[in-house]
Amino acid sequence: MTAALSIRDLSKVYSNDVHALRGISLDVQEGDFFALLGPNGAGKSTTIGILFSLINKSGGKVEVFGIDTDKDFPGAKKHIGIVPQEFNFNLFEKVEHIVVTQGGYYGLPAELAKERAEKYLRKLGLWEKRNDRARELSGGMKRRLMIARALVHEPRLLILDEPTAGVDIEMRRSMWEFLKELNAAGTTIILTTHYLEEAESLCRNIAIIDEGSIVHHSSMRELLRQLHTEMFILDTRQEVDQDVEIPGFPCKRVDAHTLEVVKDKDQDVNELFAALSQQGIDIASMRNKANRLEEMFVSLLS
């Protein structure tokens, strides 16, 4: 299968001598839903900026569906749809004009661009707003407008830089559903996000970047398999003592009715319940403390 994106030894040194990328390499297969994660300043935006052609690389090679961007960047760009982090449209333009105009930049005749604009504005719930100026839209609507704009030329590879930043939970969930549908229909998607729950729920493969280098690159399943412990929050029926101990399970009393318990991956949950029972503690409810990817992310970067 052709790689939708292949990056080899990509480096970027800014004019102030900051080494933003130190020769990173990664592959994203066609049809994948891929997460590129990293803390602020890790090099994610630089990587994305190079793919957007808004940042000139210092070295290395980028191929999009086998097209070398050094030899034919316009040819590669035809396959890429871009949803940047910051709003980058003219706020005084009408919603439909923004999408149709972008279609024109990709060489779509006006009729086809209008047809596509209607298709994606409807799918993203913006058709009723098509004659509004972009500045009149809410933050979530502006984000969806950028997605509609990125899809007007029906790219094979969609790159989203923090697409749900500042979007409310309901809207975020509906955007996830839309992206899942798009991916199921064959569009390769690369996503950067700070919401690790988002990456865990959507993405099949992942790369974590830190200080300009890839520190992890594998499938999501493989990454989560490396997580050795899990932390649970237990709500107890009785009040628990200040110096409570559960043999075999490190724990911490949060308040009179709440405990945090760490369970090793090869320990059984039944063992935990048995140990609690021996201490005379009845459990009303239990839940994971944090999402698993977040724990892994922190451990990889620490």
Catalog residues that contact other proteins under the rule CB under 8 A: 14, 49, 52-56, 73-75, 77-78, 80, 82, 84, 86-91, 101-102, 104-110, 149
> CA neighbours within 13 Å on the CB side: how many for 109?
2
Distance of CA 282 to the CA centre of its chain: 39
Helix axes 139-151, 169-184, angle to 10 degrees: 10
**Based on CB atoms, which residue is closest to other proteins, 38 or 103?**
103
With respect to other proteins, which residue has the nearer C-beta, 90 or 219? 90
Residue 274 in contact with residue 223, Cβ under 8 Å? Answer: no
For other proteins, the closer of residues 105 and 279 by Cβ is 105
Taking the complex as a whole, the smallest distance from the CB of residue 158 to other proteins amounts, in Å, to 13
CA–CA separation, 253 vs 83, rounded Å?
A: 44
| Closest distance to other proteins from the beta carbon of 290 (Å) | 35
Angle (nearest 5°) at CA 24 between 18 and 25: 165
- Maximum C-alpha span of the chain: 74
In what helix (H) or strand (E) does residue 192 lie, and over which residues does it extend? strand 188-192
Q: How far is the CB of 284 from other proteins (least distance, A)?
A: 52
Q: In a 3-state reduction of DSSP, which class is residue 198? A: helix
Which CB atom, from 113 or from 206, has the smaller least distance to other proteins? 113
Helix %, strand %, coil % of the chain (to 5): 35, 30, 35
Kindly tell me which of 73 and 178 has the beta carbon lying closer to other proteins: 73
Task: Give least dist CB 187 to other proteins, A.
Answer: 17
d(CA 9, CA 276): 52
Q: How far is the CB of 40 from other proteins (least distance, A)?
A: 17
Nearer to other proteins, 69 or 205 (CB): 69
In whole angstroms, how close is the CB of 152 to other proteins at the nearest point? 11
Determine contact, residues 142/150, Cβ cutoff 8 Å. Answer: no
Q: Which is nearer to other proteins, 117 or 272 (CB)?
A: 117
CB of 54 to other proteins, least distance (A): 5
